[in-house]
């Protein structure tokens, strides 16, 4: 009986070890496949500065910072990007807020991590001060397996610098990476878990720095998981539909920020 139990124990241990090795090999293979996929590139002709709305309306300077989401990788027209769609919504306004003349710009860079925000903040604050900054960052921090707390610290520092300069700040945290199609299961689920950890750390850091948080994973993840059309051809970056989903999730907070910026301008 003892000998049988020992053989069973050794067989079980061998099976578990082989399963673990196989699991690691599977994840490694999927990671290599994900890195070697053909991903969308920034559209060189996509304007990073434009204006929308009646020129006689009150001006609003809106700047986007962050990664590929801040410049619309995956679409071809400015009107399809998050910034373009937010600018249109703000320019059209509501009966309560009225129209605005939105001056839109972006200092985002595709592939950026939170450590790159310091340079982007410096660029955003050159010249005329923005009224509202929208920061979209976190995906590369998560896929690069950076420490969530370290990434959040850099983001918090960026938000604090913008707030100290008098800029209203809205941050869209790391999106639901468990919804991307360019990464196969089970690596997709693992990446999604890391992304949620990054988003939670980001939210705490942004609030502490005086910014406003929009949890893109929580608010839009279910839509991206259900509708493959929210991603562009590479299965990673959003399509025009995906950016529209993000823009409408961000809009209430951005509108509040615009109104707060307007009140501050009036007082000054």
Whether 68 and 52 map to the same domain: the answer is yes
Helix or strand or coil: residue 36?
Answer: coil
Whether 27 and 49 map to the same domain: the answer is no
**Exposed, middle or buried, 225 (CB in 10 Å: 0-12/13-18/19+)?**
middle
Q: Provide the domain count of the chain.
A: 2
Mean pLDDT value of segment 61-67: 97
Whether 9 and 103 map to the same domain: the answer is no
Whether 3 and 99 map to the same domain: the answer is no
CATH number reported for the structural domain that contains residue 227 in this entry: 3.40.50.1110
State residue 94 phi and psi, 5-degree precision: -130, 170
234 catalytic residue (yes or no): yes
Whether 185 and 146 map to the same domain: the answer is yes
Whether 203 and 115 map to the same domain: the answer is yes
Whether 62 and 125 map to the same domain: the answer is yes
pLDDT at 265: 58
Residue 160: C-alpha distances to residues 156, 170, 237, 245 (Å): 6, 12, 28, 27
Highest mean pLDDT among 25-34, 46-55, 76-85, 201-210: 201-210
Task: Indicate the pairing of strand 101-106 with strand 59-66.
Answer: parallel
DSSP string, 67-136: SGGGTTTT-SSGGGSHHHHHHHHHHH--TTT---EEEEEE---TT--GGGHHHHHHHHTSSSPPSEEEEE
- Percent of all residues in the chain with a pLDDT value above 90, rounded to a whole number: 72
pLDDT at 13: 42
Q: Is the pLDDT of residue 243 over 90?
A: yes
Q: Is the pLDDT of residue 7 over 50?
A: no
pLDDT at 224: 97
Query: pLDDT, tens digit, for every residue of 154-209?
Result: 999 999 999 999 999 999 999 999 999 988 888 899 999 999 999 999 999 999 99
d(CA 223, CA 265): 37
Which one is catalytic: 157, 218, 227, 234? 234
Across 19-28, 93-102, 114-123, least confident range: 19-28
Domain boundaries, position 57: 41-266
d(CA 217, CA 155): 17
Using the structure block, give the residue that is written with the tokens 């009036």: 266
Whether 99 and 160 map to the same domain: the answer is yes
101 catalytic residue (yes or no): no
Alpha-carbon Rg for the chain in angstroms: 22
Mean pLDDT value of segment 129-141: 97
Whether 227 and 94 map to the same domain: the answer is yes
pLDDT at 47: 54
d(CA 91, CA 109): 25
d(CA 96, CA 118): 36
Which one is catalytic: 68, 106, 112, 114? 68
Mean pLDDT value of segment 204-226: 98
Q: Is the pLDDT of residue 227 over 80?
A: yes
151 catalytic residue (yes or no): no
**Across all residues in the chain, what is the average pLDDT?**
86
CB 82 within 8 A of CB 27: no
Whether 210 and 245 map to the same domain: the answer is yes
CB 135 within 8 A of CB 66: yes
Query: pLDDT, tens digit, for every residue of 70-88?
Result: 999 999 999 999 999 999 9
Whether 145 and 23 map to the same domain: the answer is no
Q: What is the band of 262 on the pLDDT scale with cuts at 50, 70, 90?
A: confident
Compute CA 235 distance to the chain's CA centroid, rounded to the nearest angstrom. 15
CA 70, 76, 79, 83: dihedral to nearest 10 degrees? 0
Whether 179 and 193 map to the same domain: the answer is yes
């Amino acid at each position: 009986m003892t000998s049988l139990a020992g053989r069973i124990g050794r067989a079980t241990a061998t099976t578990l070890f082989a399963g673990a090795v196989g699991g690691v090999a599977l994840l490694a293979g999927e990671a290599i496949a994900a890195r070697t996929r053909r991903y969308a590139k920034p559209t060189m002709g996509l304007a990073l500065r434009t204006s929308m709305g009646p020129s006689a309306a009150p001006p609003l300077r809106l700047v986007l910072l962050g990664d590929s989401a801040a410049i619309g990788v995956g679409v071809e027209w400015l009107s399809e990007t998050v910034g373009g769609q937010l600018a249109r919504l703000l320019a059209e306004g509501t009966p309560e807020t009225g129209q605005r003349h939105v001056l839109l710009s972006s200092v985002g860079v595709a592939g950026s991590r939170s450590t790159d925000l310091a340079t982007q903040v410096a660029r955003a604050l050159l010249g005329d001060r923005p009224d509202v900054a929208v920061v979209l960052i976190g995906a590369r921090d998560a896929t690069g397996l950076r420490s969530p707390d370290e990434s959040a610290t850099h983001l918090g520092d960026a938000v604090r610098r913008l707030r100290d300069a008098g800029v209203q700040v809205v941050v869209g945290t790391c999106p639901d990476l468990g919804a991307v199609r360019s990464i196969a299961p089970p690596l997709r689920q693992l990446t999604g878990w890391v992304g949620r950890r990054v988003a939670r750390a980001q939210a705490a850091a942004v609030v502490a720095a005086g910014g406003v948080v929009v949890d893109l994973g929580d608010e839009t993840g279910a839509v991206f998981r259900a509708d493959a059309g929210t991603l562009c051809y590479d299965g990673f970056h959003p399509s025009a539909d995906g950016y529209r989903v993000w823009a409408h999730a961000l809009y209430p907070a951005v509108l509040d920020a615009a109104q707060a910026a307007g009140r501050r301008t009036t007082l000054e």
